[in-house]
Structure 1
């Protein structure tokens, strides 16, 4: 029954906003650096937490150590992650709604560009991604492979300036343009689809206030006290639900 209701709501909606959480990344086989087992392993191995390594202060003061961690724990483990069936289902939905004159927008904190790999085009990456590393002087972009193959701190092969990771680091401000875009897309949506996260998580808590409709759908395999604030909740893996309701 829940599947049929969700399918009907998706069919009837023309502007869909998707908040894609880290649970969807986990369903592709990647650990989130704040997950307890992984976070403890990092701290035991390096003596610092992942949050400390991935901060602007650490990057600016100890770039060599930052890049050792970035290469070993981020790029080498995340650049080859594959999208799961939920990512492909959302990409199909975007194409369907576009053909009907509608719109699907995905906002995500993931750094792995999984939605783009699956074929989605209208994606807002709040924290950037690991693929668009760039030169701080000339702006040339560099792939994860270029960073991984470099020795020490990677430098631009054109102007020899330092290369900046393409992700938002802790302590840096979220771009105002991104904030405005997510808020506007959420405000215009007639369906808000929250997947792989909960309603009190950073992204949903900050932006769901702009949604004025009555179709806020939550799909997650973990319970949270805020679940009751959704108009509909399905407690299953996103990668199992979406392929069933999006042809």
Structure 2
């Protein structure tokens, strides 16, 4: 960790202005790493934007129409700038053929593994913060299927670990803070919860809700616990 008045190693966060990127940046700053959050405005000269960074954390925009192309461009820029270390933000159960955006992440994982860079892949479960448990809750899938839920703060801490400690190159980690059903989470805080029809916001989301309705998204908790121990 850098001492007082010193700057630590610089780590680019592609997609650093969203909730995921902010969580990762906050945790890295706490470990003496200088986060460099990057967004769409930096994309035309991404190689220039990441120059001088030792590593990069790559987060694609939600429901990106061509995530493999996005990741290909990111990897090319990192290589051009001499950034030798990459952590790719994937998803739990990426090879789920009925969920197109998961499959896009599975293909992107393959690109990362063949990039020639030192890599780590994180596969987060559903964010706890995606459920607003401050009042009555409505979800378009079963209330009683299991999920591996991940707290965003834990994601940030895990990302900081794999980028600042040795031994994580070539590793793929599924991440969950706890396992529960939506009904169990709602009951814990005393809010009403109801299953509602799919609102039809996006065909990929509809496919995801249909998958969740039958299977949930189970993710074990031991990997995250080990990383944060």
TM-score of Structure 1 vs Structure 2, range by shorter chain: 0.3 to 0.5
Q: Which has the higher contact order (CA 8 A, sep 6+)?
A: 1
Greater strand content: 2
Whose radius of gyration is greater, 1 or 2? 1
Give the TM-score normalised by the residue count of structure 1: 0.33
Give the TM-score normalised by the residue count of structure 2: 0.35
